[in-house]
Amino acid sequence: MNSETKNREILLYIIFGGGILLRALNLGSQSFWIDEYCTAFFASRSGFFYSLIEIMARDMHPPVFYFMERFMGFVFGFNEISMRFLPFVFGTANMFIVYRFARALFSEKIALLTVFLFAFNPYQIYYSQEARSYSLFLMTSLLILYYFMMSLKYNKIITKPLIFWSVAGTYVHSHTVLILIVLNFIIFFVYKEAIRRDLWIKAQLIIGLCIVPLLPFFVKSALGDQYSHNTLMFIAPLITLKNYIFGFTVDFNALTVMGLLLAGFLIFLGLFTTREKYKKNVNILFIVSGLYMIMPWLISLMGKPIYSERTFILVSALVLVLLAVGASYFSGKGLSVFVVVMVVIYGISIYNLNCTEKFRKTPYKKEFLKIEKQFKTGDAVVHSNNASYASFEFYNKIMYKTNFENRMLGEIPEFTGGSARKGLRELWRKVKAGIAKITGVEVYAGYDKNTLTAKEANDRMREFKRVWFIKDTAVGLKQIWLPMGNVWYSKSTLGVAEPPNVAQLPWVKRYFTVKKVDDSYGFETYLLEAK
């Protein structure tokens, strides 16, 4: 082994080791937030069949990740680390996959640059510590694209792995279908002779048959409500690019703007001046990235807001590959400056992720534990918003199983939607009735039964001696949109009602006095005592 090869191996070990360390750092330190509560809720339901039906009823995402988390929870307990451990494992595996992906398509230099950018990328670190399916979704997406690219490279479809990971990816996240649509576009309209299309069509038919059981999820996703906000939509891709390259835990400032301009220049440099042997690979990565983002972006521009940068997390990895291709043109000194700039910005972003309140999950756990120590018979906890309520539900019913009265202010929503949604609702009611008749299990899907309406509050709250009222402030209400860049940077109120004046709520005025108010980042806690 020559010294150059040995140095390269040492560098790889350092990069992989640093990436693993950053993904493990403070894995369980941040509070669970609303999306992670959804994961724990579905994973913790009793009974496999019951859990599957409830996921179909309440969620638009396929069930595979929830069942993987279910295994982790029942073996290791439901807590922050056990629920985030699988995303950590998948996030770690993605570093090795990305290196292999880049090395198979490009030079060793480009592969090293790619894995450096990916291993220390704050966006990738964030989703390696999030109890959601996105790091697994990225893994399946990368493997689909890897075997697609290898099939084009050798002009022979690598059938079994391509079919397996395509099907697996679809059972992880429904947006895998968009990836497959883009790949079919490439085969039929861009590189028509790159592969035998009869074999390709056969593979697509097999994939289609295998994902037929997921049709209820696709229908629910298509007919469901919006899951983003149509704010700053015209510049959303620019914000997304910033988040993918530098992380969303660093704000726009002079350094990040300069870095973004440099990154954009390098990406287009690699795209338009790349060496001939790599040109086809670069073109395909650019087409996949562009089309995959453009589809939901255009749909959002035309009406229904579905633009959510984490749902096309594959692009976050491909952008780094393209950036590495452009950066590979630098000479020794230029490359050193590039690496230093990236390390500085990454360092700021990772520091913010771990140490800055603005970019961390709202610290509800600390408040929950504080209330738990003082909780007495005849007490209740009431929330003004879903954000604090969901976090408390995780700690109250799933992790610590304290099971005290935990309610959320709200009103029972009226049904809205056209004939398609109404028909789907009626069909679900019939299916639910059939399940209950056969199994004796009542699967619930609708508004949360812990919703505390104004009428019930006026009738029932006098039964409690003390109420701990958690009011999410404007900062807390905005906090949950951090992973959606265009929403985070918007000044829109997002259609959310202003935080209530607790002392002026009718049932508070009638039955309670405000004994104490504690301020925390993103929320306030009111201790109300019965008059």
At 48 the pLDDT is 73
CA 254, 257, 262, 265: dihedral to nearest 10 degrees? -150
- The chain-wide mean pLDDT, for the chain, equals 90
User: Within a domain: residue 283?
Assistant: yes
Which of 359, 392, 424 marks a domain boundary? 359
At 306 the pLDDT is 86
Residues 296 and 376 in one domain: no
**Mean pLDDT for the stretch of residues 176-192:** 94
Decide if pLDDT at 444 tops 60: no
Domain range holding 210? 3-359
Encoding tokens for residue 359?
């970019």
User: Within a domain: residue 440?
Assistant: no
User: Within a domain: residue 434?
Assistant: no
**Mean pLDDT for the stretch of residues 191-198:** 84
Residues 55 and 139 in one domain: yes
At 225 the pLDDT is 59
More confident residue, 353 or 46: 353
Tell the residue number behind the tokens 């109120």, with chain if given.
Answer: 493
Residues 290 and 405 in one domain: no
> CA 284 to CA 149: how far, in whole Å?
8
4-49 per-position pLDDT tens digit = 788 889 999 999 999 999 999 999 999 999 999 999 999 998 777 7
Total domain count, the chain: 2
Residues 381 and 287 in one domain: no
Segment holding 518, helix H or strand E:
strand 512-520
Residues 350 and 399 in one domain: no
User: Within a domain: residue 287?
Assistant: yes
Residues 130 and 156 in one domain: yes
Decide if pLDDT at 98 tops 90: yes
At 411 the pLDDT is 84
358-387 per-position pLDDT tens digit = 999 999 999 999 999 999 999 999 999 999
Which of 322, 341, 359 marks a domain boundary? 359
231-278 per-position pLDDT tens digit = 899 999 999 999 999 999 999 888 888 889 999 999 998 888 777 889
Residues 95 and 72 in one domain: yes
Residues paired with residue 525 on neighbouring β-strands, in sequence order:
470, 518
DSSP codes of every residue in 283-351: HHHHHHHHHHHHHHHHHHHHT-----GGGGHHHHHHHHHHHHHHHTTS-HHHHHHHHHHHHHHHHHHHH
Query: SS3 for 111?
Result: helix
User: Within a domain: residue 424?
Assistant: no
> CA 191 to CA 194: how far, in whole Å?
5
First to last CA, the chain: 81
User: Within a domain: residue 421?
Assistant: no
* 3-state helix, strand and coil shares in percent for the chain, rounded to the nearest 5: 65, 5, 25
More confident residue, 421 or 17: 17
Decide if pLDDT at 97 tops 60: yes
Residues 276 and 130 in one domain: yes
User: Within a domain: residue 207?
Assistant: yes
> CA 97 to CA 227: how far, in whole Å?
30
DSSP codes of every residue in 282-298: HHHHHHHHHHHHHHHHH
Q: Is the Cα dihedral 486, 489, 491, 495 positive or negative?
A: positive
Which of 342, 359, 376 marks a domain boundary? 359
Decide if pLDDT at 302 tops 90: no
The CA distances from residue 247 to 28, 312, 506, in Å, are 20, 15, 44
> CA 146 to CA 152: how far, in whole Å?
10
> CA 514 to CA 503: how far, in whole Å?
7
Is the CB of residue 59 less than 8 Å from the CB of residue 104? no
Q: Is the Cα dihedral 481, 132, 183, 147 positive or negative?
A: positive
Residues 151 and 282 in one domain: yes
Q: For the whole prediction, is pTM greater than 0.85?
A: yes
Query: SS3 for 174?
Result: coil
User: Within a domain: residue 427?
Assistant: no
Helix 80-105 / helix 64-76 crossing angle, nearest 10 deg:
130
Residues 19 and 132 in one domain: yes
> CA 199 to CA 83: how far, in whole Å?
40
Residues 48 and 164 in one domain: yes
465-509 per-position pLDDT tens digit = 999 999 999 899 889 999 999 999 998 776 666 889 999 999 999
Residues 110 and 254 in one domain: yes
